[in-house]
Amino acid sequence: MKLGSVALVLAFLVLPCLGGAAGENPLLKPFGTPFEVPPFDRIETGHYLPAVREGIRIHNSEIEAITANPAPADFGNTVEALDTSGKLLETVRAVFYSQTGACSSDELMAAAREISPLLSSHNDDVMLNDRLFARVKAVYDSREKAKLAPDSLYLLENIYGEFVRGGSLLGPEKRARLREINRELSLLSLKFAENVLSETNGSFVVVDDASSLAGLPESVVAMGAETAREMKMEGKWVFTAQRPSWTPVLQYASDRKLREELYKAYVMRCDRDNERDNKQVLQKLVSLRYERAALLGYSDPAGYHLENRMAKEPKAVTSFLDRLWKPALERAGAEARAMQALIDREKGGFRLAPWDWWYYAEKLRKENYDLDESELRPYFSLDSVSAGVFGLGERLFGLKFIERKDIPVYHPEVKVYEVKDAGGETLGLLYTDFFPRDSKRAGAWSGGFRDSWLEDGKRVIPLSTIVCNFTRPAAGDPSLLSVDEVTTFFHEFGHALNTLLFEGRYRRTFAPLDSVELPSQIMENWALKPELLRSYARHYRTGEPMPQALIEKLRKSRLFNQGFQNVEYLAAAYLDIAWHSKGDPKDRNVTKFEENVMKEIGLIPEILPRYRSVHFSHMIGGYTAGYYAYIWAAVLDADAFGAFKERSLFDRKTALSFRKNILASLGTEDTMTLYKKFRGREPKVEPLLEQRGLLGTDR
């Protein structure tokens, strides 16, 4: 990022992703590593494509064995056999796509351009295999007579639905077109992601006048100087489009021009009419989604994608968003007026703009609560927060996290922990990867190299990951996290727990997208609770715990800026649904459409949606017509956390019930059924409204 002009070049010199020497393909034989983890020290980019092809060949032979079975189709010889097929292909796919997100390279992306259409074509081959579908349908049609266990019935119903949604009921011409569409979508999604990564890495502000740094904490200045040194700009300061860099600048920089240029460097990614512009990519991609939905009998992509989620239909989503939007917008409007009043008191002479919001919010936080977020960071070193996160896992579920130095990793900064239960049994491995680099996409996520299931009666050990873009260490200090980064860590830890503690019998799970954020978001509730803060928030220099007075300030300010936080998120959720429910966009002006959607919902000009369409990776990735899922799941998590508050925050009985019915089971039965097993009833929306300070205006 820059002061004066936005430079668009690839930025950082970073430690490389690891790879082994050329030779026999390590992906095509037993790994011979502890817990059969991926041998990253032996895997080269060139190994992936042959391994994918071999995985497809083996999977095809397994499918052929199922369809050639002369015995009548039943659950075991068809559905269970299908569930256990394709293990090699899935292993390679999981490792490969984990790398494209966390530790990419030009060579890896070139491989992805070959691998993605191959996988798309293979998936179509499976979904459009008439003989296979006939056997699945035969089992489905006789499901009542089979008297299957709930998890077996759930698997059968979802696999059957997957075939239908995959085109098994289409005629030859429509099948052929569906294949073409799926192939194009796989490549366009990849292109969109490549452009976002490249633009994020190539957008930065260069500051060459120290006076422009007024107001910035020493740690932020040091971070900017370190980035400049890495980019061969000694004596200057560079701030980037990575959140750990641009957020504190927007919070503290007195120089309004710096704030504006850095903000625009971030929001204009992929909208600069250059070779990385995503407007046409987005139009084509969403247009193809409309065509695919029509082929399969749906009015729009939103209807197609929501069918197997808890919301079921677009109207349910928009009605839900509308209930939250009005009180959130009212609160945000009040926040904007308070900031404008502050600007006027200071004789600023300008109207509040989006790049001013963080700066004046921070001033109001200081004025109203005597709290400056920079006071908190010294108590949130990455090591301290890690202790808090892992400590919560121990207090709730009796887990132990033991670092392993003998596990191959894909980058030197990755750490690996063996996770054991209270009895000493190994539950899985957790890989953590915390800092930004130009080979990693923005944001934070939890994935994995392998899920858990039962094989020959024995549980397969899962391999979970937490990947973030946290503030790097600077000027000899450790990584000091913001409050947002702290809660992000707890959030992703919840996803990881869902992977590590899962106890389902089958490889395939079907958790509705709008429920998968329940395990993650509920963990955020503990992050800043005084009862837990006292155990982990310690000053990185003195080791002293966070003072009670500071904890109290943090508690009192918990609803501060909630209008903004809810509105920028909800605006993005509306935008996502609009793209997938307001008609084919093939002749649409992307910018004008976005503006019109924001006008329809009444978004105030001081706030932009959290993501603009052209870099809205959730919308193009797995959250198609599903970005609302975070707030939908927030209803679940706020209500579920109430079960702990009714007893105690660390009540082991409640925690074990949550583990059994949610973390260990999500995706094996109907989500609402599982939730009612835990809570004894369906969730209520009031706890969420109260939690976010919206209850009064909602009534």
Residue 76: which of 502, 506, 504, 458 has the closest Cα? Answer: 506
From residue 516, give the alpha-carbon distance in Å to each of 33, 210, 499, 511, 662: 31, 46, 11, 6, 10
Task: Give 414-445 as a 3 state SS string.
Answer: CEEEEEECCCCCEEEEEEEECCCCCCCCCCCE
Residues 160-177 pLDDT 10s: 999 999 999 999 999 999
CA pair distance 453, 664, nearest whole angstrom? 11
Residues 121-136 pLDDT 10s: 999 999 999 999 999 9
pLDDT at 39: 97
pLDDT at 696: 59
Say which residues have a Cβ less than 8 Å from residue 118's Cβ, sequence separation at least 6. 52, 53, 56
Which residues of the chain does CATH 1.10.1370.10 include?
308-369+561-699
| pLDDT-derived band at 584, boundaries 50, 70, 90 | very high
pLDDT at 16: 58
The answer, yes or no, to whether residue 273 has pLDDT greater than 70, is: yes
Using an 8 Å Cβ cutoff, are 625 and 577 in contact?
A: yes
Residue 328: which of 36, 607, 103 has the closest Cα? Answer: 607
Is the domain covering 308-369+561-699 a CATH 1.10.1370.10 domain? yes
Residues 237-259 pLDDT 10s: 999 999 899 999 999 999 999 99
Chain-centre distance of CA 87, in angstroms?
A: 25
The helix-helix angle for 483-500 and 382-397 (nearest 10°) equals 40
Regarding pTM above 0.85, the answer is: yes
**What DSSP element (H or E) covers 445?**
strand 445-450
pLDDT at 361: 97
Residues 38-79 pLDDT 10s: 999 999 999 999 999 999 999 999 999 999 999 999 999 999
Separation of first and last alpha carbons in the chain: 44
The answer, yes or no, to whether residue 419 has pLDDT greater than 50, is: yes
| pLDDT-derived band at 6, boundaries 50, 70, 90 | very low
The answer, yes or no, to whether residue 657 has pLDDT greater than 80, is: yes
CA pair distance 576, 570, nearest whole angstrom? 10
Please state, rounded to an integer, the average pLDDT across all residues of the chain: 94
pLDDT mean over 318-336: 96
- What residues act catalytically? 492
| pLDDT-derived band at 699, boundaries 50, 70, 90 | very low
Using an 8 Å Cβ cutoff, are 204 and 7 in contact?
A: yes
From residue 35, give the alpha-carbon distance in Å to each of 372, 432, 684: 46, 17, 42
Using an 8 Å Cβ cutoff, are 97 and 115 in contact?
A: no
The answer, yes or no, to whether residue 391 has pLDDT greater than 80, is: yes
From residue 229, give the alpha-carbon distance in Å to each of 217, 226, 519, 604: 19, 5, 40, 39
Residues 473-487 pLDDT 10s: 977 889 999 999 999
Residues 335-368 pLDDT 10s: 999 999 999 999 999 999 999 999 999 999 999 9
Residue 443: which of 631, 196, 629 has the closest Cα? Answer: 196
CA pair distance 71, 92, nearest whole angstrom? 32
The answer, yes or no, to whether residue 15 has pLDDT greater than 50, is: no
Candidates 3.30.70.120, 3.40.390.10, 3.50.50.60, 1.10.10.10; CATH matching 378-523:
3.40.390.10
Which residues of the chain does CATH 3.40.390.10 include?
378-523
pLDDT at 8: 29
pLDDT at 2: 24
| pLDDT-derived band at 373, boundaries 50, 70, 90 | confident
